[in-house]
Structure 1
Amino acid sequence: MSFDFNAYAQVFPFLAIVLGLVLGSFYNVCVHRYLTEQSIVFPGSHCPQCDHPLAWYENIPIISFLFLAGRCRYCKASIRWRYPILEALSGLWSYALAITFGPSLAYLLFMVIGGMYLVASFIDLDSFILPDIITYPAAVIAYLGSVFILDASPVLSGAAAVAGAGLFYLLNLLYRLSRGFDGLGLGDVKLMVSIGALVQLVGLPFSVLYASLSALLVSPFFLIGKKNKSRTPIPFGPFLCLGAMLYILFGPGIFSFLR
């Protein structure tokens, strides 16, 4: 019996959702274990409040959160909304990639990079840190993937990576000289290496634009209840990741898509 690729391609987006949700559950482990400085392997899944081991049916993405009404079954402590949100975003990302690229190496590349961006974003939102353990490998994977999977020019990919990082390093330097403190972290600079290599020179302006517009829309929520709004730090890494992911999906045509 021959393999029916067309039939598989039609089912693939639904399989991608399941894969994305499962990976989202793992991403939550990565975020939590990084923030608490624990191994992602040991111990097994457990409640962060009472340390009670979780059964398999308490680890089903999104469904378990809803079934448990957002609380631990043992100590009744609240489960952070980060868990279902990250799982849902991972599932949505996987589905969107499946619709856009189908079962391909490009899908695989963007799933890996997108997963790293999701983990880095949620760590940044909590700690204002973009971990080197994510930004450095992401830069290597983005460059190699753009060259060997997306057939981009090695020279232009390298130039885009340098341009992305250099732009944000220059912005940080100018901000420090004018205001006396850093406006952007070096983590953002390192993140831009992978973003530049991935979206290329033509995609950099659009990715930064998408990131900036997203930050403008969401930043007021970070300032609620803050007395000194001008000095309240807002992590920009998640918005840079979002800008790159939007460009990957929609390219420069997102504005026409919204019309």
Structure 2
Amino acid sequence: MDQLPLYVWSGAALVLGLMVGSFLNVLVARLPFEKSIIWPGSRCFSCYRPVRIFDNLPIIGYLVLRGRCRFCGATFSSRYLWVEVGTGLAFLALFLAEVVFNWFNFPGFGFDPLRATMPAWPAVALFCYHATLLSLLIAAAVVDAEHRVIPPLIPFTGLVVGVAGAALIGWPWPHPAGAAAAVGGPKAMPWMLVLDAGPVPIGAQPWPAVGPPPAWAAAGSWKLGLLNSLVGALAGSLVVRVVKRLFETGFGREALGLGDADLLMMAGAFLGWQPVVLSLFVGAFAALLVFKLPTLLLAAVRGTGVDRELPFGPGLAVGVVVTWFGWPWLAPRVQPVLFDLQSMLLIVGVIGVGMLASGLLLRRKAEPAPPEPQPVGK
């Protein structure tokens, strides 16, 4: 009984995730075909009969009907079930990480049911804000995996929510604004010197772009929160577009979609520019290891051909989440680089040359060998 409030709030987060997952299924089913997500209500795509209210309950409706329409018997994709289950578990994990166990070690966060019957409201508000990002990442990943497209409504809705919410959580919130003044000692101390300046406090947003915030956007102000969000959105979009341009210049044809740029733009509005820049490369690794490698192994076992197309959206979504929750460990290690202009330019140059060279190498492998010359008859 002592833990009852914890169970109640965790169960509420799980149920909320199941309900959101049911709505995400609507987005996945309709947005790729440019259909309204409001009208008409849920219905079978075979007989077009409306789905009853109780049949539309997350998980329960699918299991009761055994994945079939009540009227015509047409089968529903198992994706409906897995999106609901996955979103519910993702919401529960996010609630436990941010609200209960205080993964980011924010002051005032953490939920002890022996001392309180409900979590602190700032923790719940931040959970709802980040749950929106998580939901849109799931929707974009599933749509891209099925249809090789990311509908603009998903990232641009996230962009609006991310920018609006960021104005309320300017760095270093939820740390007090005075935590920024304690970093670095003298004003001349560059933030890249971790041993002298110390690790910069991690807030709901990461630290500002180049060091101590300017006077017109003081620490903890809505101006700094808005600035960080806009810079993050711009960086998320530009980093994909630049990588796309360099790789396609070498490869000779289109390789990345602009929907991937929109996806990182949305993530940057929520998380800031530092995590999303790193998440691009984490996402590329995840796309190859988690999504492409199993396909290659399955094709080798079955002796079938391999689909050369790789939906990058699911990998990017995984990269954003991994970088987001790995930030407490990553931040002190990338601080010396992100606050040193020369190191940043060097790394950008190496990555740019590497992407161009990778495109050229893959282009040579993809091009057919020239035909052998035929002997000329007399």
Give TM-score, length-normalised by structure 2. Answer: 0.59
Query: Which residue matches 1:199?
Result: 271
Aligned-pair CA distance for 1:100: 1.8
Alignment of 1:126-205 (within 5 A): 126-149=146-169, 151=171, 152=205, 153=224, 154-205=226-277
Query: Residue 251 of structure 1: which of 299, 309, 327 is its match?
Result: 327
8 Å CA contact 2:295, 2:306 repeated in 1: no
8 Å CA contact 1:124, 1:237 repeated in 2: yes
SS at match of 1:40: coil
Which whole-Å deviations, capped at 9, do the CAs of 1:130-184 have from their partners, x for residues lacking one? 1111212212322332342363444444333322222211111012211111111
Question: Which of 1 and 2 has greater Rg?
Answer: 2
Query: Which residue matches 1:43?
Result: 40
Query: Which residue matches 2:291?
Result: 218
Query: Residue 241 of structure 1: which of 306, 311, 317 is its match?
Result: 317
The structure with the greater share of residues assigned to helix is 1
Query: How many equivalent residue pairs?
Result: 247
Aligned-pair CA distance for 1:121: 1.9
- Give the counterpart letter for 1:35 in structure 2: P
Aligned-pair CA distance for 1:187: 1.0
Query: Which residue matches 2:142?
Result: 122
Structure-1 separation of matches of 2:271 and 2:281:
13
Alpha-carbon distance change, 168 to 220 in structure 1, aligned in 2, over 3 angstroms: same
Structure-1 separation of matches of 2:4 and 2:326:
25
Alpha-carbon distance change, 157 to 37 in structure 1, aligned in 2, over 3 angstroms: closer
Aligned-pair CA distance for 1:77: 1.7
SS at match of 1:104: helix
Choose between structure 1 and 2 for higher RCO, CA contacts under 8 A separated by at least 6 residues.
1
Alpha-carbon distance change, 147 to 40 in structure 1, aligned in 2, over 3 angstroms: same
Structure-2 separation of matches of 1:245 and 1:147:
22
Structure-1 separation of matches of 2:66 and 2:279:
37
Query: Residue 52 of structure 2: which of 38, 51, 55 is its match?
Result: 55
8 Å CA contact 2:68, 2:76 repeated in 1: yes
Aligned-pair CA distance for 1:81: 1.3
Structure-1 separation of matches of 2:228 and 2:53:
47
Structure-1 separation of matches of 2:278 and 2:13:
27
Structure-1 separation of matches of 2:285 and 2:328:
14
- Give the counterpart letter for 2:233 in structure 1: A
Pairwise CA RMSD: 2.5
SS at match of 2:272: helix
Query: Which residue matches 1:107?
Result: 127
Query: Residue 84 of structure 2: which of 83, 87, 92 is its match?
Result: 87
Aligned-pair CA distance for 1:113: 1.7
Alpha-carbon distance change, 92 to 108 in structure 1, aligned in 2, over 3 angstroms: same
8 Å CA contact 1:105, 1:149 repeated in 2: no
Alpha-carbon distance change, 252 to 214 in structure 1, aligned in 2, over 3 angstroms: farther
**Counterpart check, 1:227 vs 2:278:** no
Task: Identify unmatched segments of 5+ residues in structure 1.
Answer: 1-5, 255-259
- Give the counterpart letter for 1:233 in structure 2: E
Give TM-score, length-normalised by structure 1. Answer: 0.84
Structure-2 separation of matches of 1:66 and 1:11:
24
Structure-1 separation of matches of 2:11 and 2:27:
25
SS at match of 1:135: helix
Query: Which residue matches 2:197?
Result: none
Structure-1 separation of matches of 2:76 and 2:5:
37
